[in-house]
Amino acid sequence: DIQMTQSPSSLSASVGDRVTITCRASQSISSYLNWYQQKPGKAPKLLIYAASSLQSGVPSRFSGSGSGTDFTLTISSLQPEDFATYYCQQSYSTSPTFGQGTRLEIK
Amino acid sequence: QVQLQESGPGLVKPSETLSLTCTVSGGSISSYYWSWIRQPPGKGLEWIGYIYYSGSTNYNPSLKSRVTISVDTSKNQFSLKLSSVTAADTAVYYCARQLIIAAAGKYYYYMDVWGKGTTVTVSS
């Protein structure tokens, strides 16, 4: 199993802040990394695939970068609707695994 | 616009088999992979397995001995069976479309459409 570790586990920020969430893989996964957003009581929503490709309809303030074992999700200017939990997921192996999640809260 | 809807019993007794169905609407089940993912209360996401419309499957090694995923293309549905359930199987169960794309000589996959989820509680 490829283990995915996110940091931090939780984060407090204000509207307008620039926020970065990190995801680390237990082995190199090239650029096989996806990011999802989940709001309470809702299904996850795909934000970024292949480490840096923005899913259609996702605001451009979201961006992803990284390759190998270290990846980041950046929100350039936080909006009220961005407060949620974010998960990374590797698609390098045929058995996908998720990070434990990063909860983004309002400061 | 493809939509997914999970259905099945919300309460299952310990040691019995959990059975859920995902109905695909607004598009065909053909030519895609379809996944089941679950989320225990207050916890993160766990991939259970996927099925190709042709019937080939791949399961999470930690659940493989108890999981069966099947597809019914005539009904545009795919299903999950999880046997010998315990309280640890209590979770929200999601179905999702697993899309595969080719880019720069590589094949990437991701879950681009999700159902709303259904809560399954294992309790006597």
Confidence of residue B103 (pLDDT cuts 50, 70, 90): confident
DSSP sequence for B35-52: EEEEE-TTS--EEEEEEE
Q: How far is A79 from chain B (nearest CA, A)?
A: 23
Above 90 in pLDDT, residue B102?
Answer: no
How confident is the model over B12-25, as pLDDT tens digits? 999 999 999 999 99
Closest CA in chain A for residue B93: A43
pLDDT in tens, B79-94: 999 999 999 999 999 9
Spatial neighbors of B37 by CB under 8 A, at least 6 apart, are B45, B46, B47, B48, B93, B94, B95, B96, B111
- Tell me whether residues A31 and B110 touch, CB distance under 8 A: no
Instruction: Flag whether residue A14 sits within 8 Å of chain B, measured between CB atoms.
Output: no
Asked if A83 and A106 touch (Cβ cutoff 8 Å), the reply is: yes
Q: Which residues contact B8 (CB under 8 A, 6 or more apart)?
A: B18, B19, B20, B21, B118, B120
Q: How many residues does chain B have?
A: 124
Which of A43, A45, A46 is facing B115, going by the closest CB pair?
A43
Going by pLDDT thresholds of 50, 70 and 90, the confidence category of residue A77 is very high
pLDDT band at residue B101 using 50, 70 and 90 as cut-offs: confident
Please give the pLDDT value at position B13. 98
Distance from CA of A97 to the nearest CA of B (A): 7
pLDDT of residue B105 exceeding 90, the answer is no
Residues 32-71 of A with CB under 8 A from B: 32, 34, 36, 42-46, 49-50, 53, 55
Those residues whose C-beta lies under 8 Å from the C-beta of residue A4, and which sit 6 or more positions away, are A23, A24, A25, A26, A88, A89, A90, A97, A98, A99, A100
**A4-25 average pLDDT score:** 97
Task: Give A43's contacts in chain B (Cβ within 8 Å).
Answer: 94, 96, 114-117
Contact indicator for B95, B24 with CB cutoff of 8 Å = no
Q: Model confidence over B37-79: pLDDT tens digits?
A: 999 999 999 999 999 999 999 999 999 999 999 999 999 999 9
> DSSP 3-state helix, strand, coil percentages of chain B (rounded to 5)?
0, 55, 40
A29-74 confidence digits (pLDDT tens): 999 999 999 999 999 999 999 999 999 999 999 999 999 999 999 9
Q: Please name the residue that has the structure tokens 């679950």.
A: B38
Residue B104: is its pLDDT beyond 90? no
Q: Give yes or no for A96 touching B (CB within 8 A).
A: yes
Looking at residue A71, what is its pLDDT? 98
Q: What are phi and psi of A80, to 5 degrees?
A: -55, -35
- Interval A15-27: pLDDT, tens: 999 999 999 999 9
* Closest CB from B45, B96, B112 relative to A87: B45
Say yes or no to pLDDT of A90 above 90: yes
B32 pLDDT higher than 90: yes
CB neighbour class for B44 (10 Å; exposed up to 12, middle 13-18, buried from 19): middle
- In angstroms and rounded to an integer, the radius of gyration of the C-alpha atoms of chain A is 13
Question: From the candidates A47, A98, A100, A103, which should be mutated to test the interface with B, based on the most B CB atoms within 10 A?
Answer: A98
